[in-house]
């Protein structure tokens, strides 16, 4: 299926690895120009090279721009919008994403821990939306996809910082998506990953294994058994869903929370 977005410009945050990179790869395969952002320069350069190779293979001449910046800061967002070779603020697609907050016990989280989580996982996407949606609406096309978490739908006790900050974003997006933007071609949706095989998941598995005194392989297999699909998802599967939400065909989907978890969530809705 032609997604009808070749030649658009996408800003993909947290895109040197994992789910963000999966989204950037899927968009590049659709002929979309991408600006990718992450803090660590080494992984970012490797991602940029890999995406350029995809673009060359796709042969549609799309651009790949990399910005080494912390997207959770004003300066980082300004750098993303000032990227040489990029479109300034005139992105057609914005995929918001940053690392998730650390797990822990809520009794040990002081105000600073909450502010860091809210900054990265709520206020940063809101700032990116604020900076781009009016331009998108003026041009008649826009797609915002926020990478959140299945924890918004089924909270995980040790991820209280994530449950709280991402739920705040979810409520905000639900309102803005219905504020007149859809009629001007702009949709906003949240994409909720369950368990996907990325560095972050590997880190969580290692911590769980250490705490339980079991091997990482054991924990990995036990967790996969709990998922109806019998496995973790892949960044490419996640990217394909993101690309569809960004497509011309998804203009009638807005204000939604789309769960991709291999069937792990046990509810009907």
> Least distance (Å) from ligand NAP to the CB of residue 29?
18
β-partners of residue 146 are 96, 190
Q: Of the two residues 131 and 251, which places its CB atom closer to ligand NAP in the complex?
A: 131
Where do contacts with ligand NAP occur on this chain (CB under 6 A)? 13-20, 37-40, 43, 70-72, 97-100, 120, 147, 149-150, 193, 195-196, 198-201
d(CA 147, CA 169): 11
Q: Of the two residues 62 and 149, which places its CB atom closer to ligand NAP in the complex?
A: 149
Q: Of the two residues 19 and 26, which places its CB atom closer to ligand NAP in the complex?
A: 19
Tell me if residue 36 falls in helix, strand or coil.
strand
The DSSP annotation for 133-178 comes to HHHHHHHT-EEEEEE--GGGTS--GGGHHHHHHHHHHHHHHHHHII
- Cβ–Cβ < 8 Å for 34, 61: no
- CA of residue 118 relative to chain centroid, distance: 16
> Least distance (Å) from ligand NAP to the CB of residue 252?
26
d(CA 31, CA 49): 16
Beta strand pairing call for 9-13 and 142-147: unpaired
> Least distance (Å) from ligand NAP to the CB of residue 214?
19
> Least distance (Å) from ligand NAP to the CB of residue 49?
14
> Least distance (Å) from ligand NAP to the CB of residue 44?
7
Q: Of the two residues 5 and 98, which places its CB atom closer to ligand NAP in the complex?
A: 98
Q: Of the two residues 153 and 184, which places its CB atom closer to ligand NAP in the complex?
A: 153
């Amino acid at each position: 299926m032609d997604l009808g977005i070749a030649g658009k410009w996408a800003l993909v945050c947290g895109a040197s690895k994992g789910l963000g990179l999966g989204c950037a790869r899927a968009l590049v395969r659709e002929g979309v120009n991408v600006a990718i952002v992450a803090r660590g320069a080494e992984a970012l350069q490797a991602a940029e090279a890999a995406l350029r190779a995809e673009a060359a293979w796709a042969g549609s001449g799309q651009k790949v721009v990399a910005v080494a910046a912390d997207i959770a800061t004003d300066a980082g967002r300004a750098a993303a919008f000032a990227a040489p070779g990029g479109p300034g603020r005139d992105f057609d697609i914005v995929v918001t994403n940053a690392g998730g907050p650390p797990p822990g016990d809520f009794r040990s989280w002081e105000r600073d821990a909450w502010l860091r989580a809210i900054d990265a996982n709520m206020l940063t996407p809101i700032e990116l939306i604020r900076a781009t949606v009016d331009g998108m609406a003026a041009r008649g096309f826009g797609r915002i996809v926020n990478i959140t978490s299945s924890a918004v739908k089924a909270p995980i006790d040790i991820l209280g910082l994530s449950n709280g900050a991402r739920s705040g974003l979810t409520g905000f997006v639900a309102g803005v998506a219905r504020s007149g933007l859809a009629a001007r071609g702009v949709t906003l949706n949240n994409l909720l990953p369950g368990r996907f095989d990325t560095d972050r998941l590997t880190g969580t598995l290692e911590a769980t294994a250490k705490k339980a005194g079991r091997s990482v392989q054991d924990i990995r297999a036990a967790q996969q058994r709990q998922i109806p699909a019998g496995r973790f998802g892949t960044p490419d599967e996640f990217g394909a869903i993101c690309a569809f939400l960004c497509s011309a065909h998804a203009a009638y989907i807005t204000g939604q929370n789309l769960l991709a978890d291999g069937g792990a969530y046990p509810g009907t809705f």
